[in-house]
Chains A and B, each alone.
Chain A
Amino acid sequence: MFEFTEDQLAIQEMVREFSEKEIRPIAQDTDKNGSFPEKTIKELAEMGIMGLNIPEEYGGSGLDEISKAIVISEISKCCVSTAEIVAVHLLTNDIILRMGTEEQKQKWLPNAVEGKLGAFCLTEPNAGSDAGGLKTKAEKTEGGYILNGSKLFISNFGPEEGDHLIIIALTDPEKKTHGGMTAFLIGRDTPGVQVGKTEDKMGLRGAVVSEVILDNVYVPEAEVLGKPGDGFKIAMIGLDGGRIGIAAQATGLAEAALSEGVKYANQRLQFGKPISSNQGLQWYIADMGTRIEAAKMLMLEAADKRQKGEKVTKYAAMAKYFCSETAGYVCDLSLQLHGGYGYMKDYPIERMYRDARIMRIYEGTSEIQKIVISREVIKEYT
């Protein structure tokens, strides 16, 4: 049985109280208006949340992977848009910490602690699940590289949003994923970096997602992240952490959706009794509760292994796959418990249902996770 430490429990209590008091009351409006929760992000930064995985020497809070998962999960219970902004930001913090030079850490991590957002730019119009399809090029020039191309569906990047970007680009089109990609860490104000289309999404409407256009962007060698040719490896390391982040979002959302479902089922009277007294619906609730507990254990196991420095590709993929599918399942059944009211925007389950849908898609679809998992499992059992 997984037990949180006293510190982890204290962090959970703190973030839960903040989320209930400050985030839940505005979650419906954030969704309805598609408004970026700028004030909330500023407050989270003041509390130390935006730099929670950054060591104290750079101004951060120096917390572990489990605490990170707890924080994302607690915020997600109240507003998945906000949780997504935090999760992506923590993912970029993580990559900078693992791969950045001391100079890069000194330059960007204090910004990150202040809540100046990081964005991770891998996806392109023709390179989603297949990173090998990358078209953005980084051509070597004197003292650096010239970047050209565009990145699609980039979270934490918008007309006003986003501070620093991690960009994966092709440096050797022949080698592609086998040493032909390089990661760059640049500021959003770098000449030639433009904001393309800002997406109008089905869910996560408070989290800004835009296209990044790179038009002859000169990047000095000092802004290469890791070594030239390490781009794909860096992307994969980032995705391991990112997938656990999505799993944390998903379990938080699933718990919130179950809570809404049970609350409604206890209140709603039909045929003279609460609908929660019907065995058919009780079985739904049992399935939801069971899957959520299993999902949480898997997510925490993955986070714990990552904290211990173990290779987590399999566990991260399993957690991402199972937790996101669970969130979809629970939101769907909870909406079913709500009946017609669940289809109306007056009830938060309508928003949760839409927010849940992306979880099976981003940071690698469920189908891609199964490819990753099966590859690892076959290796293990062969």
Chain B
Amino acid sequence: MNILVCVKQVPDTTEIKIDPVKHTLVRAGVPSILNPFDGFALEAAARLKDKDPGTKIVVVTMGPPQATAVLKEALSIAADKAYLVSGRTFGGSDTLATSYILSQAVRKMEETEGKFDAIFCGKQAIDGDTAQVGPELAEHLGLPQVTYGLTCEKNADGSGLEVVQEGDGYNQVIGIQFPCLVTFTKPSFDPRFPTIKRKLAANRANIPVLGDDAFPDIDTSRIGLKGSPTHVKTTFTPEQKTGGVIIQEESEEESAKKLVALLGEKKVV
């Protein structure tokens, strides 16, 4: 199997400062970490590799040169190879432009690494919290996608994955064929730690950079600040819907009867 994991370097704090003019994040002076949800995506890939040691895990990030730190971290945990997508013309990209550039990077990396069977992403980054880049990347590449994955396994005939998807109060298993894209949320287990051997190898790793001139066919009107239609007017935490009644009787029939009775009481039916 050939898996690509998309990762992002994010500020390690909830005290994120926002540029009052551009409405973008100010990153200077804030310690950076691997986005935790991307860590879960990497762990999902690592677990597939545990079962099938021939699996190759490639990681990619788009960001400034210092973002190689998270690539090295990913290498020290489970990844076999890493790429940095970094160029001046990419700066200021919103999620749409970012996912477009990443889609170009995927095609470029596939020339060297071979076709990716699956692309794994964190469900969202803890700085922007949009949860858009993964799904947008799938759309740019024309791939089927499952979001909010908890765990995944290869299906019986090896033609795709069975992904346990987290729902609101329930989980469901979704089958998806290769090539595909899955975004991951926090599973019930902790991701593995780096090992000494991997850490030292990561420290010496040579990480190729895909820069401004790496994608000759890229549509420059779709990248950077000018290729980004997003304009953030304000940010707020949406109100959580509260209440709701869960009816879970011994049998479905009893549950249905109780529902009808309750709706009757409220004079809804």
Contact = CB atoms under 8 A, between A and B. Distances in A.
Interface residues of B, number: 11
B203 A10 contact: yes
Contact of A48 (B192, B196, B202, B203): B196
A46 B192 contact: yes
A63 B193 contact: no
B193 A47 contact: yes
Contacts of B197: 48, 56, 61
Contacts of B203: 6-7, 10
Contacts of A48: 195-197
A11 interface: yes
A10 B192 contact: no
Do most interface residues of chain A lie in helix, strand or loop, or is the interface mixed? Answer: helix
Do most interface residues of chain B lie in helix, strand or loop, or is the interface mixed? Answer: helix
B107 interface: no
A236 interface: no
A7 B195 contact: no
Interface string A49-86: 10010001000010100000000000000000000000
B196 A63 contact: yes
A26 interface: no
Contacts of A7: 200, 203
Contact of B196 (A6, A22, A43, A49): A49
A46 B195 contact: yes
Nearest to A22: B193
Interface string B176-199: 000000000000000011111101
B76 interface: yes
Contact of B195 (A6, A22, A47): A47
Contacts of A14: 76, 194, 196, 199
Specify which of A10, A18, A49, A63 lies most central, judged by the most chain B CB atoms within 10 Å of its CB.
A10
A52 B195 CA distance: 10
Contacts of B196: 11, 14, 47-49, 52, 61, 63
Contacts of B76: 14
B200 A47 contact: no
21 contacts: A6-B203, A7-B200, A7-B203, A10-B199, A10-B200, A10-B203, A11-B196, A11-B199, A11-B200, A18-B193, A22-B193, A43-B193, A46-B193, A46-B195, A47-B195, A47-B196, A49-B196, A52-B196, A56-B197, A61-B197, A63-B196
Given A47-B193, A49-B196, A61-B197, 15 more contacts: A6-B203, A7-B200, A7-B203, A10-B200, A10-B203, A11-B196, A14-B196, A14-B199, A18-B193, A22-B193, A48-B196, A48-B197, A52-B196, A56-B197, A61-B196
